[in-house]
Chains A and B, each alone.
Chain A
Amino acid sequence: QAVVTQEPSLTVSPGGTVTLTCGSSTGAVTSGHYPYWFQQKPGQAPRTLIYDTTNKHSWTPARFSGSLLGGKAALTLSGAQPEDEAEYYCLLTYSGPWVFGGGTKLTVL
């Protein structure tokens, strides 16, 4: 199965902007991988933020956005808030099977 890669950790200042990326060992990430982004805080279940590359759920704060960037899926946080400190996981689908990335620990400091 494919390997999905994410930055292990990133730091952003309150009010700042940060981009998390998600790459695939099989080549460029495309919309056909239906990229997802999940947020998980300690002791909680994951929560879906972005699906199908760019789409948001009703509970997704407007400051989060998804895109494709340089052959990878990307999650951009614009105007970081302290409550955005969490682990973020991307998920790519490969015509049925799923593969999660290793997660990015985002620190807001």
Chain B
Amino acid sequence: EVQLVESGGGLVQPGGSLRLSCAASGFSFSIYWMSWVRQAPGKGLEWVANINQDGSYYYYADSMKGRFTISRDNAKNSLYLQMNSVRAEDTAVYYCAGGDNADYWGQGSLVTVSS
């Protein structure tokens, strides 16, 4: 069974940092691009970042550049999102997604930025 399980979410103060993880199982993680997508409460989906199979190429949404870093560890079948200098508007459920054609999605991890 394919699973993507996000973890690491929670409450963080403005200006703080947080690292999200996504554990993959049931498919060949290392051969696929992976992505992070977020959804603010009551809002639509927003793409955050993509990373290629070996981590050598990545793309970020403009609002995340310089603050967020996507990475992966294929030996651990894991995807990561390092979030720095977080703002209130970063409050959202963060999903990891991947597979041949965005086939697989996790259930999401809630990040709340508040003092």
On A, residues with C-beta under 8 Å from B are: 1, 36, 38, 40, 45-48, 51-52, 55, 57, 87, 89, 91, 96-103
Measured between C-beta atoms, what is the minimum distance from A2 to chain B in Å? 11
Interface residues of B in 44-65 (CB under 8 A from A): 44-47, 50, 57, 59-62
Find out whether the CB atom of A47 lies under 8 angstroms from the CB atom of B44. no
Find out whether the CB atom of A45 lies under 8 angstroms from the CB atom of B103. no
Find out whether the CB atom of A48 lies under 8 angstroms from the CB atom of B102. yes
Find out whether the CB atom of B45 lies under 8 angstroms from the CB atom of A48. no
Whether a CB of chain A sits under 8 angstroms from the CB of B106 is yes
Interface size on B, residues (CB 8 A): 21
The proximity string for B residues 93-115 relative to A, scoring 1 for CB distances below 8 Å and 0 otherwise, is 00101000111011110000000
Find out whether the CB atom of A89 lies under 8 angstroms from the CB atom of B44. yes
**22 A-B pairs with C-beta separation under 8 A:** A1-B61, A40-B45, A45-B107, A45-B108, A46-B45, A48-B101, A55-B101, A57-B101, A57-B103, A89-B44, A91-B45, A97-B59, A97-B60, A97-B61, A98-B35, A98-B47, A98-B50, A100-B37, A100-B45, A100-B47, A101-B44, A103-B44
